[in-house]
Structures are given as C-alpha cells and as structure tokens.
Structure 1
Amino acid sequence: MALSASGKALYNVIILGVAFLLVFTAFQTCGMIQTVVLRDDVDFHGSGYDSLAIIYAVFAAANWIAPSVVALLGARWSMLASALVYTGFIASFLHPIAGVLYSLSALLGLAAAVIWTAQGNYLTENSNEQTMGRNSGLFWAMLQCSLLFGNLFFFLELEGMTSITPHLRTIIFIVLTVISGIGVLTFLFLTKPPEEFSSLSVQEGEETSGFFKRAVTAFVRSAKLMLKKEMLIISITNFYTGLELTFFSSVYGTAISNTKLFGVDSNSFIGISGMLIGAGEITGGLLFGILGKKTIKFGRDPIILLGYVVHMICFYLIFLNLPAESPIQSSHEGSYIGPYIELAFACSFMLGFADACFNTQIYSLLGSYFKSDSASAFALFKFIQSAAAAIAFAYSLVLLLHWQLLILVVCGSFGALSFFYVEHHPPRNEI
C-alpha cells in the first residue's frame, strides 16, 4: 500500500534521523574524546583542539559554497558523499598522524557544511507549517541519541583505566568507523520529498538551467539572504549556539577528565557526561517535538527563554564546581564548593537540555520564515555557528574556565534577545 504524502514525508524524516544518529554516534563520540585520546598518544605531536578548530574554521567558510554543492548534487547525494568523509576522518584515529589528521579535518569542514545544508533543505522539503516544529524536534531527538550510545561504549571501555592505550584506541575507533559506515548506507533509503511538501527553493525554470548557473544562483541567493535584517539579527543567536556547542561537545568533557579529584575514573566520566548531555538533548527534542503544535501557539520565545535560564544556572554551577584550569590542563586543585561529580553530571544534562531548546526553535524558525530559501538559510546558520565554534576552540586552549563561562553568559544574553526580536518581527515577504 502506497504511503500518503504526509506518511512519505514522515518516513523520510525518520530515515534521515536514523542516518544522522549512526554517523554522529561515531563522530560526536570522536569529538568528545579526541583531545584525551591524542593527549595519551606519545607518538602524536599535535592537539585535538587544533583539529577541531580547523574543522569549524573550514566549516564556516565552506557554508558559502555548500548551497551550490547541494544545488548540483541534490540533498540526498550531498549527504551521502559527506557522510563518507566523516567515516574516513574517524578511521584516521586508528593510527593518528598530525599532518593526515589536520588535512582530513579541513576536508571534514567542507563535508560538514554540505551535509548540514542538505539536511536543513531536505527536512524543510518534507515539512509544512504544521509539521515543521514536530519534525525538527523529532530529528533533533534522534540525532542526539548518538550521544547516548557512543559515550556508553566509551565509558564501558575506559572504566578503571587512567589512560587510553594504543590497543584500546584501536578497538574504540574500529567500532566507531563501522557504525559510521552503516550510517552512510542508511542514506540510500531516503526517497524524493513529496511534491505537496516541497519548498520553492528552486525557482521556476531553474531545474532546466545548467549546473554552473544553478550553483551561481545558490551562492547569490545566500549572499542576498545574509544581508536581510532578520538574518543578521538571528545570526547573534546562531553565534551563541556555536560557542556553547564547543563548550559542551569538547571543553566540558575535557575539564571533567582533567579534574583529578574525581578519582581514577575521571577519564571514563567523559562517557557518562556525554550520555547525560545526550539525555538532555533527547528530552528537549522529544518534549518540543511532541508538543510542537501546542507550543507554537504561544510562539517559540518561551522555549528559548527556558533554555536561556537553564544555561545561566548551569554556567554558574560549573563555575563553582570545577577548577579554573581544568579545560587546559590536569588539576588536583579544589573548587569553590567541591568538586562534586554528581553536580558535574547534573550540569551535563542541563547543557544538553538547554542546547535542545535553542536548536529546535532555530530550526523551526528558519524552516518557517525562510522556506523558499531553506538551503541558504541553513547554510548561513551553520556558517555563523561554526565560525563561533572555531573561535571558541581557539580560545579554549588558553582561557581559564571562568573566562570561558563569562563569554557564554554575555553572548547567551544577547542571543536570547535577538531571537525574541526575530520571532515577533518575521520577514514580510516570507510569511
């Protein structure tokens, strides 16, 4: 029995979520542990932070050409090709070599721009005004399950160990590479979005024009969209999500690992922290996905306000609980109130939940307000977010914890206010 248009669209969203779940189970686990893995490799001369900074710096720049790539290849093939690059990057940790890792980091930055632009475009083309919030929340919850599975595996493998041996590293990254490879194959099951849900991202007559013209058109439309007042203002919110992405995805886990008063299991606690971040992300995604039709009646800003308040409380607790030098180096020092591992884990959940508040609502807003330019809108979102992440990874090498938290507090305040403005002042020609 053939699926209805809405059934086919929901099928595509679920398969999209499964594919991203698998690929990012591997990649997000890799991102959270790579600074510790490379730190314990005596033959590697480099830094995990450097690799991540390269990824996000190239990611930022590549978002300007990503819509053109998606226009040429289509969303489905763009995601498949990009996922192959993710798999290759993860496999490089089987025998890390600085030059190879940094080169693959740059290539991954390009692939990241393409896969996220294509994902935003494909999600929008399988959604309408009524289902955009639900689909954003559903996809986000499925994606963030990746934090549970990968980090559970990492915790079980590292429990009771004070360092990551070459043998253990090999086991971890063989498993992660295989998981990512299965995710690549899952993209093959995506189908063409139903015409009833398809966006107007390709103007009439564009489909018959040459590839080069389509690529140039996509770039020009991105440039024009970036200059819109609403896009410039929401970019402040996007910038903040990049800063806090860096913090929860790498800096916070490293800080927990470096807090040696947590005991011999401080390294394996990265896995538990990652799982709790994922639990927070999933809770937020499911909550706002299931209740999407109800919450949209009150606007998106109450959810952003909730995320902002949770973030501010969380940052203050982290400031009190972890040593100032913990993001940079191992520390045997105490903190203002501890440190307490239970409080650190509670903050992990809060980081994930608040991040879900921001990202699900940004996805929903972009998909609703910029539907006719969805590929460009999501590319610009990732451009700003990844540029902020690259900056954050760079300063994470030198700034003590309290300075990093102060930056998050200030940028988070401006980011929340910016979202409130755009939510109540939508682009006139898009609604």
Structure 2
Amino acid sequence: MSPEGKRLFNIVVLGFGFMFMFTAFQTCGNIEQTVIKSFNNTEFHGSGYTSMAIIYGVFSASNLIAPSVVTVIGPQLSMFFSGLLYSGYIAMFIYPYTWSFYTASVLVGIGAAVLWTAQGNVLAINSTDDTIGRNSGIFWALLQFSLFFGNLYIYCAWHGHVHITDKDRQTVFISLTVISLVGCFLFFLIRKPDPEPTAPSEQSQSQSESSESFSAASSPDVGLCSQALDAFGKAFKMFGTKEMLLLSLSIAYTGLELTFYSGVYGTCIGAMTRFGQDAKSLIGISGICIGVGEILGGGVFGMLNKCNRFGRNPVVLLGLITHYVAFYLIFLNIASDAPIAPEPGTDLQAYIDPSVGVALFCSFLLGFGDSCFNTQLLSIIGLHLPRQQRPRLRRLQSIMAALAFFYSNYLLLHWQLLILVLMGFLGCVTFFLAEWKAESRRRESDYDSI
C-alpha cells in the first residue's frame, strides 16, 4: 500500500471506529432524558441534562491533561481506553443508580477529552495541506452515519410504545454497549503512516514526530516524562492569538447547538403528546433526519472542499441561514414547555397545529447546518492552527455544551432558541473575520516566497 493509501486507510478506519462508538453514545444521549422520565424507580433521581452537563464540564477541564495522556500512551491506546469508558456509561443504563449514573458521567468526560485529542492527532499526522479538507469530510461523514443506524434501531424498537418499560430499556442499552465495544477495537487497525519523501533533515524530523504520536516510549524514562510535561505546558500557550479569539465564538456556538440537536430537540419531540402514540419512536426518526443532514453536508462541503474557490465563508453563512429557518419553524411547531415537561409529555400547542413533517424537516436542517459549521471549522483549524491549540478549542466547545445542558433543565424552548440565534450570528461574523485574516496571511506568505 502506498504512503497516501495508508493514510487514507487510517482516516477511514478512524471514521468507522467513531461511527460505531457514537452510534451507541449519540443514540444514548438522544434518548436518555426520555428514558429517565419513564424509569419507575423511587431510588433514582438523575437528570439526563445534568449528566450531559457534567460530561462536557469535566471534558473541558480534562483537556488540560489529555495531551499528556496521548503523548505517554499513544493515540491508539488513548482512544481504546476512552472508548471503554463510553461503553461503561452506556452499560450503566441497564441497571441505573443515581450514584453510578453521575460517576459514569465524570469518567466519560475524562475519556472524551483524551479521545478527541487523540482523534485530532491521528487526523493531523495522516493529512497534508492538500488532503486536510478531504480527510475532515470523510471523517465527519462517517461519524454522522452513527446518527442514522442508532436512531433507526430506536424507531424499530420503540414503534408504538407509549411508555418505555424496563425490558425496552435493557434491550436497547445492551445492544448499544456491544456496538460501542466494536468501535473501541477497530482503533487497533490504525497503523503508523509512512513519512513523506523529503530532505534528510526534514524526513528525520517527520519520522520522529510520527513515532512519538503513534507509540509510547519503550520504558518510563526521563525523556517520556519530559514529553508529557511539555505537552501539558503547551496546552496553556497561545490562547491569546487573534485567530483563537475569533474562532472561539464560532466554536462556542457549535457547543450550544450540539446540545440542542443531540439532547434537547429529541426530548421535545418525544414530549409532544399531540404527535400521537408514536411520539417516542419519532425521537429515532428525528435522529435519522439529523444524520442525513450531517452526512449530506459533510460529503458536499468536506470532500469537495478543494473545489470551493470562494472559501469557507459562504458555507458557514449557509449553515447559519439553515439553522435560522430551523429555529423559526421549531418555535412555531413545538410547545414551549416541551424540553422540561414531565412524563407523559405536554398537551400545549405552539403557534401552528403540531406537524410531524415540519418537526422532522427541522431535524434535517439542524444536522445540515451543523455540518456546514463543523466541516469548515475542522478545515481551518487543521490548516492554520498549531496542533497544541486544538484542545483549547474543543474545551471551549465542551464548556458551552455543559452550560447549555445545565440551563436546559430550566429554560423554556423559546428562550433556548433565542440564545442560539444570538450566538449563531456572533459565531458567523467572527468566523468570517478569522477566515479573511488566515487568507490574508497565506497570500502574504505566497508573495514573500516569490
């Protein structure tokens, strides 16, 4: 296999590993608040929103140590052990207790920081300036297939179920645990990429970096400790650059809308009693529609990134417009108390007669708009920002997601939508500025090289 073929193989394996893992985890996040509300046990007092807030809050804090962990044990083992924590969280729902629920939430937050740091490492060292857009699109599209398969299973399993029984819950979460474990073991198929043919000094440096990234040191010597401390120190640096400050608002918006489409909106649909006895199973169809939007956007704007001579800004603007249309239709279609309505749901009506078709169309728009933002952010981050800065951006996204999951316990739907509208506008404008600055710097570099 050629060096480029090996790199592409690694990206595909990485995508499939995440697809299996997040088929389980994203499906779990989509249904857990509904499952918890249907859980008949006076000893359990958990909240799915609070759990996700803990996960993302711990995630943000753990990004400080994640680069050190990946440096010490390598990205393969990092992703594998992190995946086991994800699997444990999902398995906890088979026999849930309040203490195990929130303990698992903390552990997944730690695992998530290590997992995504390792993912960024693998994506970066298997990509070049010419292939980063393509590889980002391939990874993102494969990752979003997880929304299709997991939620299709939920629709089939819960179709016609007004109430989720203990047997329904246990069957679903046993299956999701097995699927997650399959994804964990796929990471062992990733191989160290061959270095690009370069000058001897550059080749030596490339080989050294690749070796450090894909394998831990053979013994716990002083050099290994030095690497870990160095990685930890780099996590604190370079936050004050203009690119980081500009992109931070775009990343913050993706954290807020991640919360909405991955946890809140599905709960809203399941709580709409006016959708009939299939309201619970519609959570699965909603997730599928989100996945279709994500896959379409990831394919078009990721894999065809090289053909986009107008840059990234039009794609981000399209994502914002798409989200605004979705938010407006959701405001008209879904009852305001749907995110926090107790079991069995809400009988209130919004501003139009509730329509299943409109609700599912909004799901598609949420996924498509999210892919517009994320494919372009992955591209500009991978191309223009040093590797040590990327965990900081991920940490900011997780902080905003934690904040959003926390206020989802209390805020009515229209207030949540207003927050998204305002942050989306700010995120889009600041992305434009960051893209123009990066393009200006690239042109200056090209001019200087002539």
Amino acid at match of 2:50: D
Q: Give the alignment partner of residue 357 of structure 2, picking from 342, 348, 355.
A: 342
1:271 equivalent to 2:269? Answer no
Amino acid at match of 2:22: F
Answer yes or no: is the 8 Å Cα contact 2:273–2:279 preserved in 1. Answer: yes
Q: Deviations over 1:52-92 (max 9, x none)?
A: 11101101111121111111111222111111111111111
Matches within 5 A, 1:36-115: 36-43=34-41, 44-115=44-115
Distance 1:320 1:140, change over 3 A: same
**What residue in structure 2 maps to residue 233 of structure 1?**
246
Larger Rg: 2
Distance 1:244 1:284 in 2: 16
Shift of 1:203: 7.0
Hey, what's the Cα distance between the residues in 2 that align with 1:90 and 1:38? 13
Matches within 5 A, 1:112-261: 112-196=112-196, 210-261=223-274
- Which residue of 1 is the match for residue 448 of structure 2? none
**Structure 1 vs Structure 2 CA RMSD:** 2.1
Match of 1:384 among 396, 404, 421: 396
Tell me how far apart the structure 1 counterparts of residues 277 and 399 of structure 2 sit (CA, whole Å). Answer: 36
Task: State whether structure 2 residue 9 is matched by structure 1 residue 11.
Answer: yes
Match of 2:371 in 1: 356
Query: Offset at 1:324?
Result: 0.6
Identity, % of aligned positions:
48
Conserved 8 A contact 2:160-2:278: yes
CA distance in 1, matches of 2:8, 2:103: 37
- Pair 234,413 (structure 1): closer, same or farther in 2 beyond 3 Å: same
Q: Is the 8 A contact 2:13 2:189 kept in 1?
A: yes
In structure 2, the residue corresponding to 1:268 is in which secondary structure? helix
- Structure 2: runs of 5+ lacking an equivalent: 198-202, 446-450
Change in Cα spacing, 1:328 to 1:205, as seen in structure 2 (3 Å) is: closer
The code of the aligned residue for 1:218 comes to A
**What is the aligned partner in structure 2 of residue 304 from structure 1?**
316
- TM-score, normalization by structure 2: 0.91
- Structure 1: distance between partners of 2:250 and 2:208: 27
Matched with 2:425 is 413
TM-score (norm 1): 0.95
Task: Indicate how the Cα distance of structure 1 residues 268 and 201 shifts in structure 2: closer, same or farther if over 3 A, else same.
Answer: farther
Q: What displacement does 1:217 show?
A: 1.3
Q: CA 1:41/1:310 → structure 2, altered by over 3 Å: closer, same or farther?
A: same
Query: How many residues are aligned here?
Result: 425
Deviation of 1:301 (Å): 1.0
Q: Which runs of 5+ in 1 are unaligned?
A: none
Local SS of the residue matching 2:238: helix
Native 8 Å contact 2:193 2:210 kept in 1: no
CA distance in 2, matches of 1:196, 1:416: 36
- Structure 2 partner of 1:23: 21
- The structure-2 alpha-carbon separation of the partners of 1:211 and 1:254, relative to structure 1 and needing over 3 Å to count, comes to same
- After the TM superposition, which of the residue ranges 255-264 and 221-230 deviates more from structure 2? 221-230
